[in-house]
């Protein structure tokens, strides 16, 4: 299948996953609010509820991060940069995009990032992230 057709198929997959995550997050957040409004029965119930709240909160955080990655991928599609590595501007192989449709780096650049991160290097920031920081004036320390 030509690359263009494969990219169009990935767009459909990303949109479906985005919609599913939005629905899941809406459900997770309403469930958390509902659980917090109930009064716990005893100490054990309170501990159990607290653990469940923490698990739900962490799951919502993971889903939110994935949703953000998907929205970034859809944005890159709209501006014509999807499938290009943010670091070297080379084409990201279709096998990688099929495995991780919101990948923003080719395997080589991702490995370099992970190696530098493991040795104390800083996290790579896309030009979009850098622009966001310069606008808001917020920087990671």
Number of H helices, E strands in the chain: 5, 0
Residue-range domain boundaries for the chain: 3-136
11 neighbors 98 (Cβ within 8 angstroms): no
Model-wide pTM > 0.75? no
Looking at every residue in the chain, the average pLDDT score rounds to 79
Here the tokens at position 141 are: 């320390």
The CATH code of domain 3-136 reads: 1.20.120.910
pLDDT digits (tens, 9 = 90+) for 78-135: 999 999 999 999 999 999 999 999 999 999 999 999 999 854 434 445 544 444 444 4
102 neighbors 73 (Cβ within 8 angstroms): yes
DSSP label of 38? S
Here the tokens at position 129 are: 């992230």
CA–CA separation, 128 vs 8, rounded Å?
23
């Amino acid at each position: 299948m030509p690359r263009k057709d494969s990219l169009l198929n990935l767009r459909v997959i990303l949109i479906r996953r985005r919609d599913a995550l939005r629905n899941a997050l809406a459900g997770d957040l309403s469930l958390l609010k509902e659980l917090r409004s109930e009064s716990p029965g005893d100490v054990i119930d309170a501990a159990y509820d607290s653990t469940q709240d923490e698990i739900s909160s962490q799951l919502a955080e993971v889903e939110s991060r994935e949703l953000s990655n998907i929205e970034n991928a859809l944005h890159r599609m709209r501006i014509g940069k999807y499938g290009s590595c943010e670091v070297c501007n080379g084409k990201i192989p279709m096998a990688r995009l099929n495995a991780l449709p919101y990948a923003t780096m080719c395997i080589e650049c991702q490995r370099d990032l992970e190696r530098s991160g493991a040795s104390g290097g800083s996290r790579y920031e896309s030009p979009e992230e850098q622009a966001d920081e310069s606008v808001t004036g917020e920087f990671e320390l």
